[in-house]
Amino acid sequence: MHLTRDEEDILAGESGAVKQKAMEILVALGDIYNAERLIPIESAQIAGVSYKTIGEAGLEYLTDLSGKVVVPTMLNPMGMDRYKWRQMGIDETFVERQLAIIRRYELLGIDAQCTCTPYYVNAPRAGAHLSWAESSAVSYANSVLGARTNREGGPSALAAALVGKTPDYGYHRDENRVPDISVRIDFPLAGSDFGALGYVVGKMVKSQVPQFSFVAPPNADELKALGAAMAASGSVALFFTSERAMPREILEVDRSDVDIYSSSEPDVVVLGCPHCSRSELAGIARLLEGRTVARPLWICTSRFVADRSSSVISRIEASGASVICDTCMIVSPAFEKRRMMVNSGKALEYGPSLCNSHTFIGTTANCITAACTA
Ligand code: F3S
């Protein structure tokens, strides 16, 4: 890979050992993927934040780092709500270790908004190069916003944030941003159906780039649910819904394929994977109007969105449900080993393996009804 003079200097250690290590990671990645150069990025988003997932080894790794990120950088969800951890049943040792992780990231100059929807806080412009790690955010940035990012690991996103650059390969390049397979959906879908569809299609297309044709165009929340589920059940990082030449390979999906909803009885109902938008919170508030929950109902969102939705959150919490920020049902220990009902194809995929929970999916309306039924 060709490096500029400044990049060579960083690699030689002239900006310190931490940046040198970061540059080594980027150069190694670039060499593996035959990138010819590094390109500047406009933001970074880092996964590997919950103490549940990175543990002591992750905390130690962060403790050894110094310096500052050089582009706006945010974090993925951590293992608890910063303020409601007691209500979530998180123990004090976990809290102390989790906050130590967040402090380490903050010392690096990172904005400790812990969310998988960083685009609600600061939406990248179309064409911007990014280094984002959260798979659902990568999908949304590439497919809905027209920005460009590969699906980074935690260390490579952090390295890119410290250097301000990433190797020019994969979805940064035009030649890779083309559909591989057509997916025809000739029946109507709404809301959570898109999460169910993504769960099914991700398993079928794996890492291909699908191009969908729908009966009616999905809204942004529906595209978010679709992309998040495909990123989890497959490893789709880019999809298209716009009309363009359809690839020859065609995947037909029937209504019955997408009907994966369950009527099992949950211990707990958790919504907000990915973190709820303001419109999703408003929809949940409408569904809860005049009702009282009979079993725990948790709704995950970002602190940024919550701070701008206080009246809607009051309406939701009047039912006995709880809105939590900074965390989610998958990266928090609070939801382990439960019978968990979700409205998300991504949570459906990860619940069994990462929470050891019996996880099943319903529409948002069915989830609310289950939570309000004794
Ligand atoms: Fe976000 Fe957690 Fe789902 S990070 S996409 S709410 S698994």
Q: Is the dihedral of CA 145, 147, 153, 159 positive or negative?
A: negative
297 has pLDDT over 80: yes
Atom in ligand 1 nearest the alpha carbon of residue 135: 5
Residue that finishes a domain, picked among 214, 232, 258: 258
Q: Which of 166, 256, 244, 167 is nearest to 209 (CA)?
A: 244
CA-angle at 36, arms to 180 and 2, nearest 5°: 170
196: CA distance to ligand 1 center in Å? 15
328: CA distance to ligand 1 center in Å? 6
312 has pLDDT over 80: yes
| Number of domains into which the chain is organized | 3
- Are 80 and 160 in the same domain? yes
- Are 154 and 229 in the same domain? no
Report how far residue 313's alpha carbon sits from residue 306's, in angstroms, rounded to the nearest whole number.
Answer: 7
172: CA distance to ligand 1 center in Å? 24
Report how far residue 295's alpha carbon sits from residue 307's, in angstroms, rounded to the nearest whole number.
Answer: 26
**Phi first, then psi: what are they for 295, rounded to 5°?**
-145, 160
Q: Which of 264, 337, 350 is nearest to 89 (CA)?
A: 337
Residue 101 lies in a domain: yes
Q: What is the CA radius of gyration of the chain?
A: 21
Q: What is the DSSP letter of 71?
A: S
76: CA distance to ligand 1 center in Å? 8
Report how far residue 183's alpha carbon sits from residue 272's, in angstroms, rounded to the nearest whole number.
Answer: 26
Which residue has the least CA distance to atom 4 on ligand 1?
Answer: 116
- Are 14 and 153 in the same domain? yes
Residue 164 lies in a domain: yes
pLDDT at 361: 98
pLDDT at 355: 96
- Are 169 and 28 in the same domain? yes
Residue 263 lies in a domain: no
Mutate which of 81, 115, 328, 332 for ligand 1 pocket (most atoms within 8 A of beta carbon): 328
Q: Is the CB of 299 under 6 A from ligand 1?
A: no
Q: Is the CB of 35 under 6 A from ligand 1?
A: no
Mutate which of 54, 275, 340 for ligand 1 pocket (most atoms within 8 A of beta carbon): 275
**Phi first, then psi: what are they for 26, rounded to 5°?**
-65, -40
Q: Is the CB of 230 under 6 A from ligand 1?
A: no
Range of the domain at 108: 5-174
Which residue shows structure tokens 């949950």? Answer: 266
- Are 250 and 290 in the same domain? no
Burial class from Cβ neighbours inside 10 Å (0-12, 13-18, 19+) for residue 3 reads: middle
Residue 87 lies in a domain: yes
Residue 186 lies in a domain: yes
181-206, pLDDT tens digit by residue? 999 999 999 999 999 999 999 999 99
- Are 142 and 282 in the same domain? no
- Are 155 and 278 in the same domain? no
- Are 48 and 138 in the same domain? yes
Report how far residue 370's alpha carbon sits from residue 262's, in angstroms, rounded to the nearest whole number.
Answer: 11
Q: How confident is the model at residue 61 (pLDDT cuts 50, 70, 90)?
A: very high
- Are 11 and 138 in the same domain? yes
Report how far residue 149's alpha carbon sits from residue 155's, in angstroms, rounded to the nearest whole number.
Answer: 15
Residue 195 lies in a domain: yes
Q: Which residues fall within 8 angstroms of residue 88, CB to CB, at 6 or more apart?
A: 80, 81, 324, 327, 332, 334
pLDDT at 315: 98
Secondary structure of residue 145 in the 3-state scheme: coil
- Are 36 and 142 in the same domain? yes
Residue 26 lies in a domain: yes
Q: Say what the pTM is.
A: 0.98
Residue that finishes a domain, picked among 174, 195, 227: 174
Q: Which of 102, 109, 101 is nearest to 70 (CA)?
A: 109
Q: Is the CB of 273 under 6 A from ligand 1?
A: yes
243 has pLDDT over 80: no
327: CA distance to ligand 1 center in Å? 8
